Structure 1
Amino acid sequence: MKPHCPGNPLERYSSRREFFYVGLLGGLGLSLPGFLRQQAMGAQKFYETKEGPAKGIIHIFLPGGMAHQESFDPKPYAPAEYRGPFGAIDTALPGIQFGEKLPHLAKMADKLTVIRSMSHGEAAHERGTHNMFTGYRPSPALEYPSIGSVISHELGSKNNLPPYVCVPNVPNEFANSGYLSSAYGPFALGSDPAQGNFKVRDLNLPGDVSEERFNRRRSLLETVDYHFRSLEDSDALESMDAFYQHAYKLISSEKAREAFNLAKEDDKLKERYGKTQAGQRMLLARRLIEAGTRFVSLTAGGWDHHDNIKSGIEGNLPSVDKAVAALINDLEERGMLDSTLVMVTSEFGRTPKINQTGGRDHWPRVFSVMLAGGGVKKGYVHGSSDALGGEVDTDGVTVADLATTIYGQIGITADKELMAPGNRPIEIVDGGQVLSSILA
């Protein structure tokens, strides 16, 4: 529940924020000051480290609805109007094929789990996206928190880094904290790592503030804080002090700042990922997970291909294929794959039959999700769609099942109850089952 306190001392002394403010507010999500202020006001508690195979999660969301027929579930023997404009290619798994525009991932299919039997009932973008980000169907009565926000709430910060980061910005309203305090909302970068002048807002001192001046301001602030504490016995002031301490830790921590510094990466590695939107976002995601961020959410491309799906796939899928494959290989080479869950999702699939404008329309009845690392099986395909890619054929998976499994892999019990407004206990996920068959 978002804290609300009329006459809060934080408001009376808001000008004191100028002592450390180092960026601009803006965009969806929280800037550093907003993130830390809300955390101090509503989220001050100690966390116990929970055990799970995954220590971090990278969620690669493909907004618009990626066609499963052109990616992880091709139908090479279906009639042409169902098969689509592309062929299928063999993978590293005998008898399993991917769409021809996934050559890199096809070669490493023995490292992946592919779910071909995802399904839900929401054909609108917003409602399907809500499902995939929260594990719940939308409700007019309650705003559900995103998976990233629940992880932030349950596991907290590590190594002075925000536990939940969106690259480059919060992709939609359902990626936020819902009924939880906004303290658990995502930290949004504010700029795209694919840009040549990429620089994360809020993590650098203004040009006219040297380290020495910064430290002097800190000393002055400590004196002012001591004065206020001697005058007033206020929980809000204590929280404000904690807020400043956290702010200084992040701003002054070289390790925390360096997690966002793509300039530290070798140019050859950048080329492996691809100097594209998808490639550089995924490379930054790996740096953040490596440094201690628990959940990174990023988007790549646009997949609402109602018209000319051939051109749409050709413009989007190759860079994603290359980047995801590079991310998985990079994590494996660093010994991080088993402890990092990578998931590629979209809000739904596309219609089994090509429409009159050469595209496919919204189709939630069956679609595909890809997972790698984080304790899931290597070289496994779960479930199937029918011969035309229009319905679940075997081993259907619900959104609640997927969310329950993801939470379990990072050490969160999905049927735990959190408190919604009005002291209403709400399960993190309602009714999902752990997909034990996909776990290593």
Structure 2
Amino acid sequence: MTLIALVNLCLTFYHTYRRMNSASNQSNQGFPSSVRAHRRDVRAHRRDVLRVGSLALGGLTLADLFRAQGVRGDQKWYDSVDGPAKSVIQIILPGAVSAQESWNPKPESPLEYRGPFGVNQTSVSGIVLGEMMPQTAKVVDKLTILRSVVGKIPDHGAGQYHMFRGYPMTPALKHPTIGSVVNHEYQSRGELPGYLVIGDSKDETGYLSPKYGPFTTGADPASSGFQVRDLRLPGGVTMDAFESRKRMRDAINAQFRALESNASPLDTMDAYYQRAYRMMTSQSVRDAFDLSKEPEQIKQRYGKDQFYRGSGSQAALRMLLARRLVEAGARFVTLRYGQWDDHSALQTSFEQQMPAFDHAFAALINDLDERGLLDSTLVWVASEFGRTPKINQVAGRDHWSRVFSIAMAGGGLKRGMIYGDSDATSTDPARDAVPLADLHATIYRQIGINSDKELMTAGKRPIEIIDGGKPIDAIVA
């Protein structure tokens, strides 16, 4: 490059930078916050200008620039925050559990609002839970219960999307789940994947790469002969044969790499293969999933085989497996239990399902606490929305998103706390309403992630992790 060309190149960069800086300053005058938020994107473009300069002066080609941009495709420009939670256990009660029969009973409301059950006094004076939760009542001194959560859409699909992804559903863009975002930010810790789902799951990564999706067990730990689907060797293949095939594959790949001057797709695929191989051959990974290594008295403590109706072993063994995975180093574990869409016969539904959940959940909280894991593990229990204030004509409750409750524990949150409340009939928040965005911001902060951090979509469009929101400082210890 000649001296004149170098000077011209520097002048071009300078004038481009000045134009961007001027546009940024003008954009800050009189615009709403939704527009001012795009200043982060402008700052990123300034970095690109400087990066182009450094690449050109260093003699790199345009292809090198594109390659650099590809590498940074979903990178972040924000530092992490200090978060006490090292792991998250997310317990989903699909179908929308009724808060009036669980986390926020209203014993003084009229009968048609009150429902079929009484209440349980808890380990914290002045706090009551539903009659069907006697074991959970004993661990309320370790919980934080939010009784004034506010949703937007009382539809199962849209409600679950918003609750567990941080954005309302839109046809223009599919957002990642909280678990996939955590996996993106931290990825795996040790040999276990960063994000695990007990059971099956699909379509969780949204605009992020599929590599940030969950590792799924593919089977219920309560099922007979439970084995994790992707840790089994193919039928008829011994471990010796598996090792022999790997050695042959490594030799062939080495020959291909010798012919490649730059990194190839083979390297990316090989990284995935090596990770899968390490999981399949790791004794510590196999042990984490192996419930036979858990003492029988611990299984019984969680409620295994104690509740015939409601598949009690499902609640017990799913939560027990979640604890084992967190203990082994998993960052984010999701499990589901029950079906709570009780438009009719709500009393029967609770009598069948809640005892098993109550027993297992209380055992999980106590077990984590006794093992010194609760302070570093954020546990939260949620449904997509709540149920109507009044019992309907078929003894059930219908969909209601204007106010409902969730429960949380550990991960640096206060203990024995009720935050917010609904009014006397559970129709609307009475105080301290909690928008979903504030709930999500709190979860992310406790695990050390800035929720206003921007990620990149596949089209290189910057988007914040959640749709606004600020952490709920009042519930943080």
Which of 297, 310, 322 is equivalent to 1:268? 297
The percentage of counterpart residues that share the same residue type is 52
1:168-209 deviations in Å (ceiling 9; x for gaps): 111x65xx0011011111111111001121110111323522
Q: CA deviation at 1:299?
A: 0.5
CA displacement at 1:315 relative to structure 2: 1.0
**Aligned pairs for 1:40-51 within 5 A:** 51=82
Written as runs of structure 1 = structure 2, the 5 A alignment for 1:23-38 is: none
Whether the 8 Å CA contact 1:366–1:391 is kept in 2: the answer is yes
1:135 is aligned to 2:166 = yes
Aligned residue for 2:363, secondary structure, equals: helix
Give the structure 2 partner of residue 123 of structure 1.
154
Q: Distance in 2 between matches of 1:213 and 1:180?
A: 36
Q: Distance between the aligned counterparts of 2:461 and 2:139, measured in 1?
A: 45
Aligned to 1:187: 215
Mapped partners of 2:152, 2:269: distance in 1: 45
Q: Is the 8 A contact 1:61 1:299 kept in 2?
A: yes
The aligned residue for residue 94 of structure 2 is 63
Q: How does 1:164-183 map to 2 (within 5 A)?
A: 164-170=195-201, 173=203, 176-183=204-211
Aligned partner of 2:428 among 358, 375, 391: 391
Counterpart of 2:464 (choices 421, 427, 432) is 427
SS at match of 1:368: strand
CA gap of 1:370–1:127, structure 2 versus 1, over 3 A, is same
Question: Shift of the alpha carbon at 1:86?
Answer: 0.3
- Which 4+ runs in 1 deviate beyond 6 A? 42-45
Deviations 1:418-437 (A, max 9, x none): 00132110000121110110
Q: Which of 366, 390, 414 pairs up with 1:353?
A: 390
Figure out how many residues of one structure are paired with residues of the other and give that number.
395
Give the corresponding residue for 2:270. Answer: 241
C-alpha deviation, 1:300, in angstroms: 0.4
Using structure 1 for the length normalisation, give the TM-score. 0.87
Query: 1:21-420 counterparts in 2 under 5 A?
Result: 51-170=82-201, 173=203, 176-233=204-261, 234-275=263-304, 276-420=313-457
Distance 1:404 1:273 in 2: 31
**Distance in structure 1 (CA, Å) of the matches to 2:158 and 2:408:** 22
Whole-angstrom distance in 2 between the partners of 1:393 and 1:52: 30
1:242, 1:73 → 2: CA distance? Answer: 48
| CA shift digits 1:254-286 (9 cap, x unpaired) | 111211111111111111111211111000111
Query: Per-residue CA shift, 1:192-242, capped at 9, x if unaligned?
Result: 001121110111323522222222222111110111112234421121222
Name the CA shift for 1:130/1:44 in 2 (closer, same or farther; >3 Å): closer
Q: Which range moved further: 302-311 or 219-228?
A: 219-228
1:343-394 CA distance string (max 9 Å, x none): 0000111001000000000000110000011111100000000001111000
List runs of 5+ in structure 1 lacking aligned partners. Answer: 1-39
Q: CA RMSD in A?
A: 1.8
2:315–2:357 CA contact under 8 A, matched in 1: yes
Which residue type is aligned with residue 400 of structure 1?
A
**Matched letter for residue 373 of structure 2:** M
In structure 1, C-alpha distance between the alignment counterparts of 2:81 and 2:191, rounded to whole Å: 18
Contact 1:117/1:385 (8 A) holds in 2: yes
**Aligned partner of 1:322: which letter?**
H
- Taking structure 2 as the reference length, what is the TM-score of the superposition? 0.80
Following the alignment from structure 1 to structure 2, what is the Cα–Cα distance between the partners of residues 278 and 428? Answer: 31
Q: What is the match of residue 25 of structure 1?
A: none
Q: Provide the C-alpha distance between the structure 1 equivalents of 2:370 and 2:235, rounded to a whole number of angstroms.
A: 38
Q: Is the 8 A contact 2:74 2:457 kept in 1?
A: no
More helix by share: 2
Contact 1:50 1:155 in 2 (8 A): no
Counterpart Cα distance in 2 of 1:245 and 1:422: 29
Q: How many Å separate the matches in 2 of 1:167 and 1:241?
A: 26
Is the 1:73–1:98 Cα contact (8 Å) retained in structure 2? yes
Cα distance, 1:252–1:377 mapped onto 2, change above 3 Å: same
Deviates more, 1:84-93 or 1:212-221: 212-221
Residues in 1 aligned to 2:205 and 2:428: alpha-carbon distance in whole angstroms: 33
Partner of 1:13: none
User: 1:308-365 CA distances to partner (integer Å, 9 max, x unpaired)?
Assistant: 1100111111111111100011101111010011100001110010000000000001
What is the CA–CA distance in structure 1 between the aligned matches of 2:268 and 2:369, rounded to whole Å? 41
2:80 and 2:191 map into 1 onto residues whose CA distance is 15
Please name the residue that 2:3 is paired with: none
For structure 2, list consecutive stretches of 5 or more residues without a partner in the other structure: 1-70, 305-312
Counterparts of 1:263 and 1:207 in 2: how far apart (Å)?
Answer: 22
